[in-house]
Chains A and B, each alone.
Chain A
Amino acid sequence: MCDHASSNDPYPGLDEYIDNLAYKKENLIGILHYAQELFGYLPDKLQWHIAQKLDIPSAKVYGVVSFYSFFTMKPRGKHVINVCMGTACFVRGAEKLQAELEKQLGIKTGQTTSDNLFSLDSLRCIGACGLAPVMMIDGKVYGRLHEPEEIRQILAEYRSEPKLATIGL
């Protein structure tokens, strides 16, 4: 969604982004999107930093972060698996797919594997209802997932070659 310079310490990049905004407080949600992209998640310390920068109470930042499900306060695995729980996928077996993934990964939805390789989550309708049930790994969509073996193979691909996240759409 936004471009950012790569460097080890992401704080200066974030500050620069905020400094360049004409309206700051009004753009809190946009800033949080940017920060989550830079840091991967929004820990307390980062929320406090943003609050300072915008001169607003950190409770306000927390209130916004906790309200929107897109924001996460926990670090995520290298690959994020999202199972579509939209209606079309639900009636075509999304729950089974979710259960199978939980089984193969040994974690529950909302958790991250102990090796930090996968986080499992759910989202609602990604517009690929024709392929239901679908899951998305780092933005790449996999559809018509009924066979456990197929899922095993997909996961194996990510396990064997730790390639960078590809933006699917």
Chain B
Amino acid sequence: MKLSNTDALNALKAQSRVLLENRRVSNPVTTKEAQGLPRNVLICGGPGCHSSGGPKIAEQLEEELNRRGLSEQVKVFRPGCFGFCEQGPMIEIHPDNTTYCEVSVEDVPTIVEEHFIQGNRVERLLFKDPNTQKRFASDLPFYEGQVRIALRNVGYLAPENILEYIAADGYQALAQILALDPASVIDVIKKSGLRGRGGGGFSTGLKWELTRKSEAKQRYIVCNADEGDPGAFMDRSILEGDPHSVLEGMLIAGSAIGASYGFIYVRAEYPAAIRRLQVAIVQAREHGLLGKDILGSDFCFDIELKYGAGAFVCGEETALIHSIEGARGEPSVKPPFPAQKGLWGKPTCVNNVETLANIPPIILKGADWFAGIGTEKSKGTKVFALAGKVRNVGLVEVPMGTTLRQIIFNMGGGIKNHKLFKAAQTGGPSGGCIPTQYLDTPIEYESLTAIGSMMGSGGLIILDENDCMVNIAKFFLEFSVDESCGRCTACRVGTKRLHEILTKITEGNGTLDDIDKLETLGEIIKDTSLCGLGQSAPNPILSTLKYFRAEYLAHVVDKTCPAGVCKSLLKYQITDKCQGCTLCAKHCPANCISGTAKKRHVIDQERCLKCGACMEQCRVAGAIIHH
């Protein structure tokens, strides 16, 4: 099955086209017209849908189709994440282009009977816009304004079948660049304006050029699949949904920089991604797309998987390199940069998963096409994992320059439970919080940094009025304390101090002096830490102090938590709605509720542990309040 040259690849592509014929067709037919036609059912295989019953639904559907004699006509596939996690489990039916949301196993017989046998859409499973009550069978508002480049195949192709990838122009970009001079490939990437999607935003073409220019017999390309931002899953979706695009990106990078070997450093916490990559690598080898003399050229390249072991700092490129070498993942001083001296002392180019997934389309469609998307300095698109208090949690890919407001209120559908938007957190533990007044900021590397946050790798957490910003800052600091490798005193001890001060404030023991300390210490840590972890760890504090200072002051001066989160600052009180049922008093672990039956009870504030047990027990609305 080895493809000996480009013609063989093209022949296989022509032969494999049929696999995708009945999927996302350009001119969909009606459900009635689709009867008797070959059908493809796609069941979202993203982590959210998978956990909420996707595999069971697939199994039941195949069984039911078989029972009704439809298994030849209707084929079931499990591609990667559709992105719209909130409405999962989701399924798509083609060629009549129907999307069903929140499907359960119980719905399967109805879908088979109504949709496939009667030829009618099941109205109640169609997406319903919560504002207009309008139902959508396709072109859901969630996808409006999205442009899928890195995610082009995710949720579309069956990830364990290389033939589907080949049918969808897979490895065509590789075939093209093998006929080109490496310098001109680097030129295309430079001209496209692609910048690293791992957070740093360094020009990818320039990084390739620097690595190529370092004199050496061996060079390496490393794919950073460590995805450390807690609360983000963009890279995971690409690895699971379209592993071949990452391999192809690495092959192109390898050829351009003159590397014959590549490593993918993937988190051990992503077993499904690991499995998909293993399958993809085996298939690519079988087809001669990895190995010696690829597609008849003299280019030899192979890829090995390396597993992370749960250390956030290993996402930093020098730490990652040490980890691949089998050592503790501690960062080292730059320069020398990996492009000069990296893995085993050899020039090494480290690229993020999403960066690499962008490479094949750029080669196929050209630098101008890519550079035509986005803003002046930030080209192309960015994938965000939208989560938190937003109505539509999911994965979105938007052109650079899209505003936060568009993402949160159009695609995201606004804030859950009719609460008020408070802030958007980007960049994870290295980033910051963006308040309401900056909702119209276009998303770009520079603009986000200018308002005290950062692009980061794509985590986008939405906070509402019930989130306490001091507590959020404390959450991220706790993360940084846990993950500091301990090499630099400023980072090791400093983050701990910051966390202690935040704890003190949330417990109601903070002083104005503490707020000053947070600022001065934060700046010192930023200036004196060796790697990005320490340099950015104070950001969550500094940005919340900048935009939500009043909230810090409320904790420190008024000893209240305006969002009602910090337990020690809460005050439980029994109102005159109390009916004297005595339930609360029976459950109070501190025995601090007094009162006689049928009379209003009272809480002794001095002894109250603020455990909330009373409020949980009380059956009378409004009888116990906390503020």
Interface residues of A (CB under 8 A from B): 1, 25-30, 32-33, 63-64, 67-71, 85-92, 123-132, 134, 139, 141-143, 167-169
Q: Which 8 A-B pairs have the closest CB atoms?
A: A87-B231, A130-B85, A68-B309, A127-B233, A127-B47, A124-B230, A141-B51, A70-B310
Instruction: With both chains docked as a complex, state the minimum distance between the C-beta of B88 and any C-beta of chain A, in angstroms.
Output: 6
Does B529 sit within 8 A of A, measured CB to CB? no
**A25's contact among B323, B326, B463, by CB below 8 Å, is which?**
B326
C-alpha gap A130/B49 in the complex (Å) = 9
C-alpha gap A143/B89 in the complex (Å) = 13
Residues of B near A92 (CB, < 8 A) are 388-389
Contact A90 B307, beta carbon cutoff 8 Å: no
**B326's contact among A64, A85, A89, A90, by CB below 8 Å, is which?**
A64
Does B327 sit within 8 A of A, measured CB to CB? yes
Does B46 sit within 8 A of A, measured CB to CB? yes
Sample of 21 A–B contacts (CB below 8 Å)? A26-B325, A68-B309, A68-B329, A86-B231, A87-B229, A87-B425, A87-B475, A87-B476, A88-B231, A88-B388, A92-B388, A127-B46, A127-B236, A129-B385, A131-B52, A132-B393, A141-B50, A142-B51, A143-B51, A143-B52, A168-B50
- 8 more CB-based (< 8 A) A-B contacts, given A64-B327, A87-B428, A125-B230: A30-B306, A87-B475, A125-B233, A128-B48, A130-B48, A130-B393, A131-B51, A169-B50
Q: Name which residue of chain A comes closest to B328, CB basis.
A: A67
Contact B387 A129, beta carbon cutoff 8 Å: yes
Contact A134 B307, beta carbon cutoff 8 Å: no
Instruction: With both chains docked as a complex, state the minimum distance between the C-beta of A76 and any C-beta of chain B, in angstroms.
Output: 14
Contact A33 B51, beta carbon cutoff 8 Å: no
Report B239-251 CB contacts with A as 1/0, cut-off 8 Å: 0000000000000
Instruction: With both chains docked as a complex, state the minimum distance between the C-beta of A22 and any C-beta of chain B, in angstroms.
Output: 10
Contact B51 A88, beta carbon cutoff 8 Å: no
Contact B51 A67, beta carbon cutoff 8 Å: no
Q: Name which residue of chain B comes closest to A67, CB basis.
A: B328
Which of B47, B308, B385 has the most chain A CB within a 10 Å cutoff? Answer: B47
Instruction: With both chains docked as a complex, state the minimum distance between the C-beta of A109 and any C-beta of chain B, in angstroms.
Output: 12
**B393's contact among A67, A68, A129, by CB below 8 Å, is which?**
A129
Residues of B near A132 (CB, < 8 A) are 387, 393
Instruction: With both chains docked as a complex, state the minimum distance between the C-beta of B492 and any C-beta of chain A, in angstroms.
Output: 14
Report B363-392 CB contacts with A as 1/0, cut-off 8 Å: 000000000000000000000010111000
Does B331 sit within 8 A of A, measured CB to CB? no
Does B533 sit within 8 A of A, measured CB to CB? no
Residues of B near A87 (CB, < 8 A) are 229-231, 387-388, 425, 428, 459, 461, 475-476
Which of A68, A127, A132 has the most chain B CB within a 10 Å cutoff? Answer: A127
Does B311 sit within 8 A of A, measured CB to CB? yes
